[in-house]
Amino acid sequence: MDPISNMIIMIKNGSTAGKATVSFPYSKIKNAVALCLQKEGYVKDVAKKVKKDHPVLEIELVYTDKKPKISGVERISKQSRRVYFGMRDIHTVLGGKGVLVLSTPKGILSGRDARREQVGGEALFKIW
């Protein structure tokens, strides 16, 4: 399976279930995506830990008034079909209530940051 898809679904399911933290195997791209989500306010804290001699990425989830901040996710690029957006193709998600996450030449960026940097890239997923 796709590791990024697994990660975002685990984050969504963990927040829906009311979990305080979610952890999964560490990788550099998962760490970059988690830091982007932290910058946008969808996760509280990101930490790399070691459990049973394996590196693990642990994410602390955000709740507002006991409701999860994350209510939905949608994977755009898949292993079978890659989707690329130019700078002009990047639009807001749900009228600004969500975030588009892209893999650009300048790293993993949100749609807002990618437009500010004037770069396009592979659209990974939307989160709201």
Residue 77 near residue 105 (C-beta atoms within 8 A):
no
Residues in the chain: 128
Mean pLDDT across the stretch 96-104? 94
Q: In this structure, are residues 40 and 92 in contact, taking their beta carbons and an 8 Å threshold?
A: no
Q: Which residue in the block uniquely carries the two structure tokens 């997923």?
A: 125
Average pLDDT rounded to a whole number, residues 40-58: 95
Q: Which of 26, 21, 28 is nearest to 50 (CA)?
A: 26
Choose among 115, 80, 77, 111: nearest CA to 94: 111
CATH number, domain with residue 93? 3.30.1490.10
pLDDT over 90 (residue 113)? yes
CA atoms within 13 A on the CB side of 120: 9
Domain count across the chain: 1
Residue 26 pLDDT > 90: yes
What distance in Å separates the CA atoms of residue 8 and residue 30, rounded to the nearest whole number? 9
Beta carbons of 46 and 34 less than 8 angstroms apart? yes
> Which whole number is the average pLDDT over 45-70?
94
Q: Is the pLDDT of residue 53 over 90?
A: yes
Segments forming the whole domain that contains residue 11: 3-127
DSSP state of 95: G
